[in-house]
């Protein structure tokens, strides 16, 4: 009976308020800037054909990709989890693998082979094969978690396999699939590199163009406002969905598995379809990458530069993971252990970054640091704060789950067995939350190593990362020179991504 009505500890509360304030900088900036720009100027910058064009471009790509990823992710998940498809374990790994490849690298792989992928249809293809794992993974997890008894009941009530899927399985998958595709939408709104390379202008690429043309001028910031509104729309939908979602409680003991659907004659077409997905998502871009690595005319393999940029990327990733985790922990602790309206508000404020693309966060931090903290401007510190704001939600999710794994009763037991606070922390709480918090830190690390947009804007003088170096070479059409950096990014993120996806698979 956890009826602990405890007041918020003041130090913890102060720390959390500080974190929430930092996380709120970009949003406050966007709102403040929009207000201070004034109505006339805002009107001039917002109501012009270009904005309409961008809006249409952004909307049709986002919606198209959300629909396609939902279909592709669900279909693939069903084939892998519920049918007699041969090699299901391998397919599982292969289908999740595109997560380890940044979309701008996939895009690079394609566009360096053929300019035919430029424009809407190419962009749609590339972002779809880059992002469908965001639907595939939760859909597969949901399929694994379904109670087989429900499907058996439907079959007993006279439904065939197809009707059972439509009327019983699909409705239960809906939260996972919708949630996943909304996440795809948010990612797409923030996507810069992939679309810039495909010559498909959206709000994010337009903001970058404006930034290159006029730094942080009102035009860029006003576009950022519109972009944030789009994101907020999707995020609201996602939050409402999450609020209604009910998690089935996982029973003790091994779950009974359902008899898989026999594909019979459909085995070959299914295999071909999955093979096509993997070929488009991994085969072509990775093949292209290897091609540019091997035969690229401008490939000189600058070992020294590769080593230093990789070290910088890894170092930044580690520092950002450390900082982000340190910021997430107090808020997560407060929100798990001291439920209340204040702690909920503080927790939610850290999720605001979900609606803020990297380009907006970067613009905000540039302007804020120049105006208010000139000494911090152009430092690794600001870059790290940018990363922390962007990836705080990832660290929070893991930290919250980890802290929930260590309920207060375990502390009570430890105390009753004679351990004091510090010892309890060392022997009980840390070992319990470390794996989850560590996984969260690893997620942040991965995200930072493959982050392009904010890094381009915020990296201080002399700081070159794998992503920025890749970008600078690929902008010069020096595909061969760009390839090694892309390959290294994939090499760094692939193993950890694999383990993390396996982990979610095992725990769900």
Of 271-330, binders to another protein (CB under 8 A) are: 297-298, 308, 310-319
Does the footprint of another protein cover residue 210 (CB under 8 A)? yes
Of 172, 299, 305, 378, which one interacts with another protein (CB under 8 A)?
378
Please tell me the distance from the alpha carbon of residue 227 to that of residue 284, in angstroms, as a whole number: 31
- At 203, list the tokens: 């709000």
Q: What is the DSSP letter of 254?
A: P
Contacts of 339 (CB under 8 A, 6+ apart): none
Of 27, 101, 124, 428, which one interacts with another protein (CB under 8 A)?
428
Identify the CA nearest to 126 among candidates 197, 75, 39, 189. 197
Q: What is the DSSP letter of 83?
A: B
Helix/strand/coil percent split, the chain, to 5: 80, 0, 20
Please tell me the distance from the alpha carbon of residue 111 to that of residue 285, in angstroms, as a whole number: 9
Question: Are 143 and 174 within 8 A, CB to CB?
Answer: no
Does the footprint of another protein cover residue 413 (CB under 8 A)? yes
Please tell me the distance from the alpha carbon of residue 208 to that of residue 204, in angstroms, as a whole number: 6
Q: What 3-state DSSP class applies to 19? A: helix
Of 252, 256, 265, 372, which one interacts with another protein (CB under 8 A)?
252
Of 55, 273, 370, 494, which one interacts with another protein (CB under 8 A)?
370
- Contact positions with another protein (CB under 8 A) in 47-86: 48-50, 53
Of 12, 209, 237, 351, which one interacts with another protein (CB under 8 A)?
209
Of 224, 439, 466, 486, which one interacts with another protein (CB under 8 A)?
439
Does the footprint of another protein cover residue 7 (CB under 8 A)? no
Of 381, 397, 401, 425, which one interacts with another protein (CB under 8 A)?
381
Please tell me the distance from the alpha carbon of residue 385 to that of residue 506, in angstroms, as a whole number: 32
Does the footprint of another protein cover residue 442 (CB under 8 A)? yes
Of 10, 158, 265, 418, which one interacts with another protein (CB under 8 A)?
418
Question: Are 444 and 325 within 8 A, CB to CB?
Answer: yes
- Contact positions with another protein (CB under 8 A) in 443-472: 445, 459-464, 472
Least separation, in Å, of the C-beta of 282 and another protein? 22
- Contact positions with another protein (CB under 8 A) in 175-204: 196-197, 199, 201
x-or-dash pattern for another protein, window 212-251, by CB under 8 A? xxxxxx-x--------------------------------
């Amino acid at each position: 009976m956890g009826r602990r009505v405890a007041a918020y500890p003041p130090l913890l509360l102060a720390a959390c308020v500080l974190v929430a304030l930092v996380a709120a900088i970009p949003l406050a900036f966007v709102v403040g800037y929009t207000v201070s720009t004034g109505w006339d100027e805002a009107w001039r910058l917002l109501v012009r054909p270009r904005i309409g064009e961008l809006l249409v471009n952004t909307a049709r790509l986002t919606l198209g990709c959300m629909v396609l990823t939902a279909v592709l992710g669900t279909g693939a998940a069903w084939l892998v989890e519920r049918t007699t498809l041969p090699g299901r374990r391998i397919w599982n790994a292969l289908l999740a693998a595109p997560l380890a490849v940044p979309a701008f690298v996939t895009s690079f792989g394609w566009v360096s082979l053929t300019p035919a992928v430029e424009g809407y249809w190419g962009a749609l293809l590339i972002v779809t094969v880059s992002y469908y794992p965001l639907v595939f993974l939760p859909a597969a997890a949901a399929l694994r978690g379904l109670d087989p008894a429900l499907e058996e009941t439907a079959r007993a009530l006279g439904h065939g396999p197809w009707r059972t899927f439509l009327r019983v399985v699909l409705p239960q998958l809906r939260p996972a699939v919708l949630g996943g595709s909304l996440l795809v939408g948010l990612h797409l709104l923030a996507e810069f590199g992939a679309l810039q390379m495909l010559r498909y202008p959206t709000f994010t690429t337009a903001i970058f163009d404006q930034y290159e043309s006029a730094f942080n001028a009102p035009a860029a910031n006003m576009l950022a406002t519109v972009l944030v509104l789009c994101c907020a729309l999707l995020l609201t939908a996602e939050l409402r969905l999450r609020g209604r979602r009910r998690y089935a409680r996982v029973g003790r003991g091994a779950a009974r598995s359902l008899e898989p659907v026999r594909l019979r004659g459909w085995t070959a077409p299914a295999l071909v379809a999955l093979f096509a997905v993997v070929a488009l998502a991994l085969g072509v871009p990775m093949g292209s990458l290897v091609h540019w690595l091997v035969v690229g005319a401008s490939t000189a393999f600058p070992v020294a530069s590769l080593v230093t940029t990789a070290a910088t990327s890894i170092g930044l990733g580690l520092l950002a993971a450390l900082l982000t985790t340190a910021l997430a922990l107090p808020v997560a602790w407060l929100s798990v252990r001291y439920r209340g309206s204040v702690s909920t508000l503080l927790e939610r404020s850290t999720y605001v970054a979900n609606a803020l693309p990297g380009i907006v966060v970067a613009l905000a931090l540039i302007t804020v640091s120049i105006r208010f903290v000139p000494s911090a401007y152009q430092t690794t510190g600001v870059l790290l704060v940018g990363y922390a704001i962007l990836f705080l939600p990832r660290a929070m999710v893991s930290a919250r789950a980890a802290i929930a794994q260590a309920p207060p009763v375990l502390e009570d037991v430890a105390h009753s067995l004679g351990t004091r606070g510090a010892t309890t922390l060392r022997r009980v709480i840390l070992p319990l939350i470390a794996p989850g918090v560590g996984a969260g830190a690893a997620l942040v690390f991965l995200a930072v190593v493959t982050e392009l947009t904010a890094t381009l804007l915020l990296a201080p003088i002399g700081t070159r990362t794998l992503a920025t170096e890749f970008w600078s070479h690929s902008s010069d059409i020096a595909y061969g020179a760009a390839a090694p950096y892309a390959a290294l990014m994939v090499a760094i993120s692939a193993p950890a991504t694999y383990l993390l996806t396996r982990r979610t698979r095992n725990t769900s």
